Amino acid sequence: MDYFLTEEQRMIQDLSAQIAKEKIRPIRAQLDQQEEFPWETVKVLAQSDLYGLYIPEEYGGMGGGIFENCLAVEQLAYACIGVATTFAASGLGAYPILLYGSDEQKENYLPDIATGKRLAAFGLTESGAGSDVSGIQTTAVRDGDSYILNGTKQWITNGGEAEIYSILAITDRSKGPRGGSFFILEKGDPGFTFGKKEKKLGLRASATRELVFQDCRIPKDRLIGREGMGFIIAMKTFDKSRPGIGILGVGLSQGALDIAVEYARKRVQFGKPIISFQAIQHKLANMAIKTEAARALIYSTARYMDTDPHDSSKVAAMCKVFGGDVAMEVTTEAVQVLGGYGYMQDYPVEKMMRDAKILQIYEGTNEIQRNIIGQELNKEYGRMKDTFF
Ligand SMILES: Cc1cc2nc3c(=O)[nH]c(=O)nc-3n(C[C@H](O)[C@H](O)[C@H](O)COP(=O)(O)OP(=O)(O)OC[C@H]3O[C@@H](n4cnc5c(N)ncnc54)[C@H](O)[C@@H]3O)c2cc1C
């Protein structure tokens, strides 16, 4: 399928694919088994300028958008979504600054994020606040020229490895949804430490860790935007980042599909390659249809989002749901096509299936995405004058 990429977009795709093939594929099993953070690959990605794809040129980036970033993430995910998540999560941490930061904050942080010199992370989730973000307990109290943070964030991607953290904290609980604010935290800020490092089903090349704030004092100019904008910043950030989660699913699905087709062409049972059995052909066909459909949805959505539309929550949620569900289905079917060999660590599809599950959970579960889509549909149809029956 030709998606009519520009020459520059093809170059981004080719470069990312080359890094995935040469630098990620050979070590993905080791990263998974040893739960290693992929620092070597991060350095290669930094040298290739890919960290700056979506960051404006004035802040040292390439001046592209969500679409260009998706092209890179897809190729990295083809080899390993653990590494690709590490890459994409830096963007998630950068978006609050990019969207709502002051000029000084942008100048201070974005150039280092764009060059990959410093990784970023995004801290929202807490032990009692997952889907229901309003339950967060971390507080930020103004004290003269400082804010003092107390609380613990849980399951933060790039936790402990990143240098720059965008963190949501409560500044005024009495204001409810207008009582949250975003802050920039730096590794090394007094009172900011790292807690439990998680052991996971999949996505093991990605670090997932607690962030602990104990009387953590930061200068007041680390507030992003204004006090009370925290929940809006979180939602606008997710609108920008959710196509990137969907495209992780597309890259992963394509990786599993390619292995399944190659295996089915080589594996002989009953005297024939198993691809000659219609049951196997239909599985592969469904895998290919869904992967391409997810790619088409996410490419067109990412291009649309780069026009800065107001109504992006619904389509961003659709990308996240569809990319994640397709990846779960396609990787599970890939294991089935490989039979017992698919269940063994000798082939990468068992890792792909373990990895895929996260795409239905993080950055808002797929149930929550469907809630968003349903609520937006209700609003849209409520505004329409037409009737349909
Ligand atoms: C590997 C990993 C990395 C992560 N990285 C980050 C990160 O970098 N930054 C960060 O802030 N967070 C991160 N998270 C947290 C992640 O975003 C949350 O796990 C997710 O939002 C769901 O929250 P929860 O796990 O507490 O589930 P819960 O909210 O407890 O949900 C449990 C179940 O109930 C369902 N449910 C809950 N409410 C509703 C509802 N209203 N309607 C229908 N179903 C509902 C959910 O869909 C789910 O199936 C990460 C999580 C993991 C596992």
Chain segment 248-286, per-residue pLDDT in tens:
999 999 999 999 999 999 999 999 999 999 999 999 999
Element housing 208 (H / E): strand 208-219
State which of 37, 125, 164 you would mutate to test the pocket of ligand 1, scoring each by most atoms of that ligand within 8 A of its C-beta: 125
Ligand 1 atom, smallest distance to 153 CA: 11
The pLDDT of 335-353, averaged and rounded, is: 98
205 Cβ inside 6 Å of ligand 1: no
Give me the numbers of helices (H) and strands (E) for the chain, helices first please: 11, 10
Distance from residue 47's CA to the centre of ligand 1 (Å): 33
Per-residue pLDDT tens over the stretch 49-96? 999 999 999 999 999 999 999 999 999 999 999 999 999 999 999 999
125 Cβ inside 6 Å of ligand 1: yes
371 Cβ inside 6 Å of ligand 1: yes
Distance from residue 220's CA to the centre of ligand 1 (Å): 30
Torsion angle (degrees, nearest 10) of CA 306, 311, 314, 319:
-10
Mean pLDDT, rounded, of the chain: 97
Distance from residue 118's CA to the centre of ligand 1 (Å): 27
Token output for 27 = 């070590």
Q: Catalytic pick from 74, 161, 363, 380?
A: 363
End-to-end Cα spacing for the chain: 37
Atom 19 of ligand 1 has which residue's CA nearest to it? 362
Q: pTM, whole model, 2 decimals?
A: 0.97
Type of residue numbered 142? R
Per-residue pLDDT tens over the stretch 7-62? 999 999 999 999 999 999 999 999 999 999 999 999 999 999 999 999 999 999 99
Concerning whether 227 is annotated as a catalytic residue, the answer is no
Distance from residue 246's CA to the centre of ligand 1 (Å): 16
223: β partners = 183
Atom 7 of ligand 1 has which residue's CA nearest to it? 156
User: What ranges make up the beta strands (E) of 201-324?
Assistant: 208-219, 223-224, 268-269, 272-273
Nearest to 166 by CA among 115, 98, 226, 112: 98
Token output for 31 = 């990263």
